[in-house]
Amino acid sequence: MRHLVKAAAVVAGVIAFGGVGFAQQCKIAVIDMQDVVTNSNEGKAKATLFDAKVAEWKKKIDAIQAAIDDAQTKLKNQSSIASQTVIADLNKTISDKQKELQRTTQDAQTDVDEYRDQLLGPVMKIADDVKQEVSSEKNFDIVYDLSAQNSPIIYADARCNMTEEVKKRMNAKAPSTTPARGATGASSTTPTGRGGTTPPATGAGRGTTTPAGAGTTAPAGGNRGTTTPPAAPK
């Protein structure tokens, strides 16, 4: 059903262009801004720093969870022989650590969200500028973002896709500077491998760092629509 709705939207757009008699003069292209931002050299370098930030929080959260597990194990094993004072102390430790875990998890969520936006904001700006540059050179009038959540595009010929060209130009301006996995990054943190680094319950995995554009974009230098840079997903 969604494909039918998208197809209907595309057909409607073609009919609209044809109705005013300038369909053949209007050049349309597509781009995957998510791919451009996350897989460019600059994006990969930022992703390494983000991994390091997530790993820091995961270490803190794991330590608190370990303390809770240890206290719960002691309570289970000693409940029949320990004094009421010992049992009360263990219960208090568990309660206090659970509250600490909740606060730390919330702090981690806020911190990694803000750090992700801080890292990806400049990369998205570069990607958008290069996209506008390519669009102007090739006289594209409309550019659709394939990674947009509600993109109406269900198919586009490779000749209409400017994703690789934009990435190539971005990489030419910023050669690969990605720190080696496991090496110290510029933020004085220790990067870790992608995946499995998200602190428990924060919901801020690296999967959420892939920006997605919204709607259509138009090249710079002309009043052909509104450019909507991709917002960093939460």
Tell me which amino acid residue 96 is: D
Per-residue pLDDT at 62: 98
User: Distance between CA 94 and CA 70 in Å, rounded?
Assistant: 9
For every one of its 234 residues, what pLDDT tens digit does the chain have, with 9 covering 90 and above? 444 444 444 444 544 444 444 445 789 999 999 999 999 999 999 999 999 999 999 999 999 999 999 999 999 998 888 889 999 999 999 999 999 999 999 999 999 999 999 999 999 999 999 999 999 999 999 999 999 988 888 888 999 999 999 999 999 987 665 454 444 433 333 333 333 333 333 333 333 433 333 344 444 434 343 333 344 444
Token pair, residue 214, equals 């919204």
Query: Which pLDDT score, from 0 to 100, does residue 135 have?
Result: 95
pLDDT at 47: 95
pTM above 0.75, yes or no: no
pLDDT value of residue 177: 54
Q: What pLDDT was estimated at residue 80?
A: 85
| Six token digits for residue 39 | 């897989």
